[in-house]
Amino acid sequence: MNKPDKRIALYTHLFSLYPKAYREQFGDQILQTTLDMLDGVTDRKERQRLWVRLALDMQMNIGRQHLKNAGEYMKNINQRLLASALWGIIAALAWLAFPHVRAIGTTWMNTAGGLRVIGLLLFVLAFIAIPSVMAVLALFDRPKTIYQKLLN
Amino acid sequence: MKRTMKLLPQISFSILVALSLKPRHGYEIMQQVEQDSEGRIKLVPGALYSAIKNLLDADLIEEVAQSDERRRYYELSDKGRRQLNAELEYFEATLSLAKQRLAPGAQA
């Protein structure tokens, strides 16, 4: 096999952001399917479009899998407490930031526009909070052998 | 179709249709789904294996051993075949109903 593309190497390392069980069950197959897709595209612009689709897919799927795993994590009292604390911190930050964000919103836009910005910010924060924390924890537990084997 | 049987999401249904002829691995499933949908459905690996996981958990598909060690193949289980047939019956009935209602002169 040729020396792996750096983007493939980065894509492979990002697999560590998936939940461990999902990664072990499907990680090698997702990577193999991705390599098959890339092998099937020779046009440069098509490959660039494919990489964009793959990046967006990975971002969405990592969040989706962590959220699906949330039920399993909630069975453990310590992780339940951690999740509750995280949501509390997010809620507190949102409450503290609300007057300032609302002020900015009403200065730059009308009231409805400002509230839309706030809503969007809260949505983005909630969407990335859980997978971000789980990703940090997952970084300490990264199986290297599966993907190294595929790339060699 | 039994009332208790839930309809599958479109991607899961499309995967079952793709597996209806023979066992396939992930990339083959993606290609078959795109071909069956005439290019309307283009799967990406994350969405594909998320759906495959759901189908495996529901026992609608099974993993089968093939000579290609680098790729895992999947096939319809008996339960998956029943689910697919039931959904096709439902869609046929719905299609027939829609055609009747859209026919010229159809009455409410």
What would you report as the CA-atom Rg of chain A, rounded to the nearest whole angstrom? 20
Distance CA A91, CA A83 (A): 12
Q: Which residues of A touch B51 (CB under 8 A)?
A: none
3 state SS of B40:
coil
- A-proximal residues of B, 41-100, CB under 8 Å: 42, 44-50, 52-53, 70-72
ipTM score assigned to the predicted complex = 0.81
| Greater model confidence, B74 or A150 | B74
Q: How far apart are CA B29 and CA A62, in angstroms?
A: 21
A21 touches B: beta carbon within 8 Å:
no
Q: Residue A115: which of A130, A94, A88, A129 has the closest Cα?
A: A94
Cα distance between residue B92 and residue B101, in whole Å: 14
A40 is written with which tokens?
């099937």
d(CA A4, CA A46): 19
**Residue A104 and residue A111: Cα distance in Å, rounded?**
10
**Are B34 and B11 a contacting pair, CB within 8 Å?**
no
Each residue's pLDDT, cut to its tens digit, for chain B (108 residues) gives 455 667 889 999 999 999 999 999 999 999 999 999 999 999 999 999 999 999 999 999 999 988 888 889 999 999 999 999 999 999 999 999 999 999 887 766
Q: What was the pLDDT predicted at A143?
A: 47
* Nearest-angstrom CA–CA distance, A17 and A57: 13
Q: Which residue has the higher pLDDT, A40 or A84?
A: A40
Select the residue from B49, B57, B68, B73 to test the A interface by mutation, using most A Cβ atoms within 10 A. Answer: B49
